[in-house]
Structure formats: C-alpha cells, structure tokens
Chain A
C-alpha cells in the first residue's frame, strides 16, 4: 500500500491542502516550531503504544514463523532458528484453504456491495430532507454493532437449521431438494459473512453519498441520460471513494474470518485460514506454522489491497 493511499483512506476528503496554509511571518514561525514540539508530545505516547503492541508483535510473529523444533522436544517447544521450510510446508498443505478463504471473502464483499449500496443510497439520497427517518434508518445500520456478533451468527444457525421455516419454505418451492440443507454449506458461511460485514460496507458509502450534490443527478437527466445511465456515469464514479473504503473494510475481516466458518460451516469444505491459524496455535501447539500462515495471510491482503487501490482508486486516492 502506498503511503499516499493509506493517508487518503485514513483521512477524510475535506483534508486541508498544506499548500493552502498561508505563509507565516518570522514570529509566527517561531511559535509554529514550539507548537510542533507540542505536536510530537501529543503523538508519541499513542505511537509508542502501537509500536510496542502492533509493530513489534508482527516482527515477533515473523521471527516465530522461522523457529525450529529441536530433536526430541515436547509439543510446543521451539528454539529460534531460520527454518524457511515451514512456509513451503504450510503453503503446500493449506494452499487450497487460502484460495477458499479469499474466494469466500470476495463473494461476501461483492454481495455486501450489492446489498449495501442500495441501502446507503436509499438513506443518503432518497430520504434527503427527512432527517428523522434518515436518523432512524442510520440507527438500524449501526444496530448490529451493539448486539453481540457471536449471538447474531448463532441466530443464523437457527434461521438456516434443518428444522427452520426458511429451509421448509425453500423445499416447498423446490429451490432446495428434499434432502438439501443450508447449515454446514459454503453458502451458509458466505451468507453469514455477508450479513456480518454489511454495516462496514454501508457506512462509508452512506458517508460519501450523503455529500453527493443531487443537482448533478438532475444535470444528468437534463443532458438526456436515462436513470441507469446517470447512475453509471455520474453517481457511481462520484461515490467511488466510499465504495473503495467499504469494500476494503469488508474484505479484510472477511478474509481472516473463522467464526462463521466454525459456527455455520464446520465442514472440511468450508475450512478457512483463520480456522487453521486458531487450531495450529491452540490444538496442535504448532506455533511456527500458525505464525507462518498469519504472515502469509497478512502479506496477501496487503498486496491485494494495494493493487486494488492502484487499479480502481480515483485520482486523489492513488
């Protein structure tokens, strides 16, 4: 990820251009310098915390992925080493698990975009000028944040269970065969992920569409563009920063997800990388493999996100 892209993703669009700050007199510059020192004092404690509890642990994890197990050691006992073979081994064993995890994450992200965009558009554009209704629906969008996510996944287990009315209904209309089921399928896992990360998709798009100038949509109509064409050529390009933020915020947790895979899938065909990391750490006490898997997962995500931002980013993002 380029620094500029990271900066744009973490700062809002109204960011003040430093070049627009007027020149300062000598005296003002002196105060600016002392204020600069205050700025350092402000950021140092937080950055020190992030350095100690994020940056160092990532290196710690990279180091651990290279540890070796000495001859005759008990499970969970490793010594520092430089055993690159762990990477080759986990990639050959779990290569298809990686493919599956990213495929699940990709499908869930696209599905969340297809559902989240109309939602955000409805609240931000259609209901403009009706603040009470807007506020209420916004509360509904953020409501899932206030209810336990494990309990929500458990609800999906009820809804998709073999005895539920959903499955009964789908069988009645012959969408699902008589012996078909929804739990323990990849579909259930992806549906669970889509549901879980939908607010993360909807909120950034909403924040973007909220600022959309509807006169531009009207201008599209005045220039004889149809509704769909106006959307494609005016609204969608203008909302790209929101779409970018939403898709990235959805894709990242979805690719590391394992709660959905365990609770809704729990099946060899739905195993995700997160699940393997968890079981390597806690059941096999195979710390180097778990660390190597995490490192590869993080590396792939960073590469994918950087490529995505480069490819689809609007001019100001790249």
Chain B
C-alpha cells in the first residue's frame, strides 16, 4: 500500500530521479488528456459521498437525517444523544482493537514462518491463507454461524471478535509477506558479518525494518474490522457494532450523530496517515540532501 517506499534509506534508483531523460513524445502520449480527466473525475467520485457524510453531520435533522434542514453544531456537541449509539461505537472500537492485536501477532508469525522457512506443505499453507480472502463475507459469516449454531455457542462480543480475527489474519499475512520479500538480504548478511547471532540480527536489523510494514498491516486490519458489517451481522447476536447500528437506523433515516462519529473517525485516520506520509516525505528529502 502506501508504505512501500519507506524503510529504504538508499537513494531510489529510478531513471526519473536520476535526471531529466529525453521523453519520447509519442510514447508517453497515451491519452495526454484522457488519463488526467478520467483520473480526476474518479477522485471526485471517490470523495463526494464522503463529503456528503461530513456535510450532513451538520444537518439540523432532528430524528431522521434525510433532507437538509439547516446548519447546526448541536450534533457535534452531543454525539452520544441517540440511545445506544456510543455504546455501539465503543463496542466496535473494542472488537477492532482486540482483533487487530491478535491478528497482527498471529499473522506476523505466519508471514515470517512462510517466508523464511521451508515446509513440505507450503502450497497448502498458501492456499489456507488465500481461501478466506477468496470467500465472500456473507459465506464467511454464514459458515461461522452454522458452526456456532451446531455447537450451541452463545453469540455476542466473543464470537464477533473471533470472526474478525479470522478474516484479518489473511490480510496481515499478505501485507507483511510482501514487506519481508522486499527486504534486502544484504542487510542481514552484513549483520552476520559483524558477528551478530541469528537472534541479534533479527531483533536489531530485520524486525526494526519491518515495523512500518507491521504497522500498516495492523492499521489495515483495524480498518477492516471496525468497518465490517456482514460478518458481524451474522455472528454478533444481540451485541451491536457501529456499522450494525447505522444499518438498522438506515431504515428510518440515520441520526446525524452517526455522521458525526463517522466523520470524526475518518478525519482522525486521515490525519494519522497524512502525518506519516508528510514525515516520510520530509525524511526522504533530508536523506536526499545529505
């Protein structure tokens, strides 16, 4: 994802950065206007509904947020006004945090195991990671619910967390394996040349280089878990998550306070990601000028 450039402190060996290259007029012509116009429209298309969420969080809506009735700050001042809304929000945060921690630990271990050791059943192992990704959420949810019903397990927060860990692990493994595969083996060899034991080389060289990748995988898994509706809908029983609250409320019009919490979450996450991006950009420039 967005973190691919990080971690490499050496100068990027791209012909573009190496200096101006004579461009072939014809070659790079592919829709000189077509690409920016379609691309620009697509970015607008991505952002408009998100802007709607934000704008309607200021709607003086009363109970149902279906039409624009005027500007107010009241929703932002008391976002917990609709009953159960903040409970659902906190439920989702709890589930996402637990699921992310467990999935990141288990997923990182699998990624390392598969990437650095040889197995007799490596092919089956890869398939086992891939299959949950190739299964639509409705099937993941329905199959797990079949299992819980068969065993007579009480549905609730526990079953929700378990289901979320299950589908987050595969995402974590895929994201972190990609990072491990792009690590320069020379760095570990250098550590070995400097008399570092395997363990020291791992904790002092390999692991620190992977921290950005692990953080990105954890962020991805948090986002997926927090936003999951379908799997939770099957496995949560009476326990209600934030997306479930919004879905049920949508039948009669979602309260504007839901938009407040959604927008706050969105801007928090964007601020975090932008901050990291800017910091990385600034750091790369510093490296470049050193």
Chain A residues within 8 Å of B, Cβ to Cβ? 1, 3-4, 6-7, 9-12, 14-16, 18, 31, 35-36, 38-43, 45-47, 49-51, 53-58, 60-61, 63-64, 115-116, 118-119, 121-123, 126, 128-129, 131-132, 135-152, 154-159, 163, 195, 198-199, 203, 207, 210, 213-215, 217-222, 224-228, 230-231, 235, 248-249, 252-253, 255-259, 263, 273-274, 277-278, 281, 287, 290-291, 294-295, 297-298, 301-302, 305
Give the docked Cα–Cα distance between A86 and B208 (Å).
54
Give the docked Cα–Cα distance between A129 and B17 (Å).
6
Q: Any chain A CB within 8 A of the CB of B265?
A: yes
Contact with A along B9-49 (1 / 0, CB 8 A): 00000111100010111111111101110111011011111
B220 contact set on A, CB distance < 8 A: 145
B26 touches A16 (CB 8 A): no
Give the docked Cα–Cα distance between A316 and B45 (Å).
35
Tell me whether A198 and B46 are in contact in the complex, defined as CB-CB below 8 angstroms, given that A1-B130, A118-B35, A287-B149 are known contacts.
yes
B50 contact set on A, CB distance < 8 A: 143-144, 147, 152, 155
Q: Any chain A CB within 8 A of the CB of B74?
A: no
A297 touches B42 (CB 8 A): no
Q: Other than A35-B116, A49-B106, A57-B143, give 15 A-B pairs with Cβ distance below 8 A.
A: A16-B181, A45-B106, A45-B109, A46-B169, A115-B42, A135-B281, A139-B270, A145-B223, A151-B259, A219-B27, A222-B27, A235-B30, A252-B135, A274-B136, A277-B138
B146 contact set on A, CB distance < 8 A: 57, 60-61, 63-64, 287, 291
A263 to chain B: closest residue by CB? B250
Q: Any chain A CB within 8 A of the CB of B119?
A: yes
B110 touches A57 (CB 8 A): no
Q: Any chain A CB within 8 A of the CB of B140?
A: yes
Contact partner of B269 (CB less than 8 A), chosen from A41, A122, A146, A220, is: A146
Give the docked Cα–Cα distance between A207 and B3 (Å).
11
Give the docked Cα–Cα distance between A58 and B246 (Å).
29
B25 to chain A: closest residue by CB? A221
Contact partner of B281 (CB less than 8 A), chosen from A131, A155, A198, is: A131
Tell me whether A227 and B53 are in contact in the complex, defined as CB-CB below 8 angstroms, given that A53-B166, A115-B42, A222-B24 are known contacts.
no
